[in-house]
Structure 1
Amino acid sequence: MILVYIDKYKKVTDVAKELNMKQPSVTFHMKSLEEEMGAVLFESKRGRMILTEAGQALYPYALKITGLAAEAKKVVRDYSVLEKGTLCIGADQGTSIFPLPLLISSFTKHHTGVQLRIINKPTQTIKSLLSDHDIDIAIFHSTDHQQSSDDAIVINPLLDDELVVIFGPQHRFADFEHIDPQHIAMEFFIQHAEGSFINEFTQQWSSNNSIHLWERIQLDSMEAIKLTVQSGDHISFFPKRSIQLDLEQGLLKSLPIPGHVIPNIRPVIAFQQDPTHLSLRNEFVEFSRNYTF
């Protein structure tokens, strides 16, 4: 507030210089404040501008207002330079295993004041949340030919991946170099959650190859699917990049999915073309696209 600067510098010319304003502008603000308060707040004595008694009574409040204004500017600056803020990210089950953990771990190291809220749901639910503006960013598995039905949504690929058949190290497939669709039809199969990308793929794959899967179990948790496959006679379909460590440690084995398949699956990042959380959202999108997996 102009009153605080008048009390500090005692000259209109010095206040104008401090605030990078012209002297008439300072005088205008002084008169406007007096009109707003309905009292004379300033008086000139011996070439110095000082506060009247009314001005002195207003001074403590003006000081608080000036301090709050400075604090407000800092808060806004923190958000604009990505030092603070909250970003809501929705991810389907597959991308919640990989690559999301790597992305959010690295991103938060670079932006320590930013809070991330993660929602883990089936693929179709994540897409709906993004369309309804309930999340800022969506990360999910897709195929090369899949496009959004909403023109306002931008979809960018993150990396290439593939779906494979997974099974435990003691499973009979461990001795096979190749399998065909009939082999898969003869095994206990674990189906993924309704609405998930892999569930939809599996149904389409079964139809394309004219087989009926022996779906004894359906699990919403992909971690639970991995553990069940590791310890038993079941098989399932899984993104290969999500089980790379399990394969290297010998906890799981995999083979290419046989028959008519949908090639080139990939995790993608999607967002609405609107200004909501623009700086923070765009920073995470750009960070994800440039991340080296």
Structure 2
Amino acid sequence: MDLKQLRAFLTVTETGNVTRAAEVLNLVQPAVSRQIRLLEEDIGAPLFERERRGMVLTEAGEVLVGYARRALLELDRARVEVGGVGQGVTGLVTLGLLPSSIDMLSSPLASAVAAAYPGIRIRIAMGYAGTLQRWLVTGEVDAALLYGVEQMAHIQTMPLIEEPLWVIGPKNSDLSPERPVPLAALTHQKLVLPSAPHGIRTLVEQACAAAQVTLDVSVETNALSVQRSLVLGGHGLTILPPIAVADDLRGRKLKGAPLTAPDITRTIVLALPTNRPTARAVRCTVDLLVDEAQRAVSSGTWLEGRWRG
């Protein structure tokens, strides 16, 4: 097993196709196929099923992919740190951010890190809370902003921001920030919601159980962009923190109103692993991430956010 084989394996995994992987790796297709074959011989099991729709991971491939990603990530970290010896704080820091906040935080954070610690290189990974939590435990990210985190032995958290969930609808709806909507008022509305076990769906279902309310969920999707598109297209209302569609609310493409009876809130937390040491570069980057989150709340950019850090 060598690094070329692992890179070929991961690239085929991500593209789902040997031809596209060869283009990404700037290799000929037979060379990529050979690297996969050698890796399969070394592992002693097939890593892909060759199907009409592309290359699909086998059970053995699913097991290997996490190890391969971590191995290459550790090598990249080593390259950055060794190359920066004697140059102050250096390192590769991988952060996990939620879809609702990644656009707002990424650019100012990158600018802050470049100005304060030019020897630090950051990677920003987007995922939903459950995915980021898993990546944090396995070492695929160094720190993350999460919500709805259960107590876990290998994660420590610090509350940063509390934000409400709103009912979000198309621009022709009668929703208004000044008129909270009782949860029970949604019982006769078509709703577009994430599917379980998405964190927001869990919060909504807990509130429905407490209020003895049954909602009519017409479409389920775990893609924020699809939720937004379906609401814009008039397929139903949705429930989201206002920051998730802040630009649409400010631009009056969508309308929103706070949920009430009961109020539903989520708390964004900074999460760090406890099953491994936190490098100095990670601590420095996390401090800047917290600063940028606080600045977003105080400036009103983080719509309806309340600072708890």
Q: Secondary structure of the residue that 2:186 maps to in structure 1?
A: helix
TM-score calculated relative to the size of structure 2: 0.60
Among 142, 145, 148, the residue aligned to 1:136: 142
Q: Secondary structure of the residue that 1:216 maps to in structure 2?
A: strand
Tell me if the contact between 2:163 and 2:241 (Cα under 8 Å) persists in the aligned partners.
yes
CA distance in 2, matches of 1:155, 1:100: 21
Q: Secondary structure of the residue that 1:260 maps to in structure 2?
A: coil
Mark the CA change 1:110 to 1:196 in structure 2 (over 3 Å): closer, same or farther: farther
State which drifts further: 170-179 or 90-99.
Answer: 170-179
- Structure 2's unaligned 5+ residue stretches are 1-80, 297-309
CA distance in 1, matches of 2:115, 2:248: 26
Alpha-carbon deviation of 1:217? 1.0
Alpha-carbon deviation of 1:147? 5.4
Tell me if the contact between 1:153 and 1:273 (Cα under 8 Å) persists in the aligned partners.
yes
Alpha-carbon deviation of 1:97? 4.8
Correspondence 1:102-121 to 2 at 5 A: 102-104=108-110, 106-108=112-114, 110-121=116-127
Correspondence 1:198-213 to 2 at 5 A: 198-213=200-215
Among 81, 93, 102, the residue aligned to 2:89: 81
Match of 2:133 in 1: 127
Q: Secondary structure of the residue that 2:253 maps to in structure 1?
A: coil
Opposite residue 201 of structure 2, the aligned amino acid is N
Q: Secondary structure of the residue that 1:148 maps to in structure 2?
A: coil
Opposite residue 284 of structure 1, the aligned amino acid is T
Opposite residue 160 of structure 1, the aligned amino acid is E
Match of 1:245 in 2: 247
- Structure 1's unaligned 5+ residue stretches are 1-71
CA distance in 2, matches of 1:216, 1:231: 14
Alpha-carbon deviation of 1:125? 2.3
Q: Secondary structure of the residue that 1:166 maps to in structure 2?
A: strand
Q: How far does the alpha carbon of each residue in 1:238-276 deviate from its partner, in whole angstroms, 9 at most, with x for none?
A: 11223332222111111111212344x232211123664
CA distance in 1, matches of 2:195, 2:270: 21
Opposite residue 235 of structure 1, the aligned amino acid is L
Moved over 6 A (4+): none
Match of 1:287 in 2: 288
CA distance in 2, matches of 1:285, 1:102: 13
Match of 2:267 in 1: 266
Correspondence 1:94-105 to 2 at 5 A: 94-100=100-106, 102-104=108-110
Match of 1:155 in 2: 157
Alpha-carbon deviation of 1:106? 4.0
Mark the CA change 1:95 to 1:129 in structure 2 (over 3 Å): closer, same or farther: same
Q: Secondary structure of the residue that 2:95 maps to in structure 1?
A: strand
Match of 1:39 in 2: none
Tell me if the contact between 2:195 and 2:222 (Cα under 8 Å) persists in the aligned partners.
yes
Tell me if the contact between 2:183 and 2:262 (Cα under 8 Å) persists in the aligned partners.
no
CA distance in 1, matches of 2:123, 2:229: 26
Q: Secondary structure of the residue that 1:76 maps to in structure 2?
A: coil
State which drifts further: 233-242 or 115-124.
Answer: 115-124
Opposite residue 259 of structure 2, the aligned amino acid is I
Opposite residue 201 of structure 1, the aligned amino acid is L
Opposite residue 131 of structure 1, the aligned amino acid is V
Correspondence 1:27-38 to 2 at 5 A: none
Among 154, 171, 179, the residue aligned to 2:181: 179
CA distance in 2, matches of 1:108, 1:219: 36
CA distance in 1, matches of 2:85, 2:267: 37
Q: Identity across aligned pairs (percent)?
A: 16
Opposite residue 123 of structure 1, the aligned amino acid is A
CA distance in 1, matches of 2:127, 2:177: 35
Opposite residue 172 of structure 2, the aligned amino acid is Q
Match of 1:196 in 2: 198
Mark the CA change 1:192 to 1:108 in structure 2 (over 3 Å): closer, same or farther: farther
Opposite residue 169 of structure 2, the aligned amino acid is F
Tell me if the contact between 1:95 and 1:141 (Cα under 8 Å) persists in the aligned partners.
no
CA distance in 1, matches of 2:191, 2:160: 29
Paired residue total: 214
TM-score calculated relative to the size of structure 1: 0.63
Opposite residue 89 of structure 2, the aligned amino acid is V
Q: How far does the alpha carbon of each residue in 1:212-248 deviate from its partner, in whole angstroms, 9 at most, with x for none?
A: 2111111121122122212314111111223332222
Correspondence 1:221-260 to 2 at 5 A: 221-260=223-262
Q: How far does the alpha carbon of each residue in 1:86-144 deviate from its partner, in whole angstroms, 9 at most, with x for none?
A: 222223333435545543454345445533333333312221222233321121234xx
Tell me if the contact between 1:86 and 1:116 (Cα under 8 Å) persists in the aligned partners.
yes
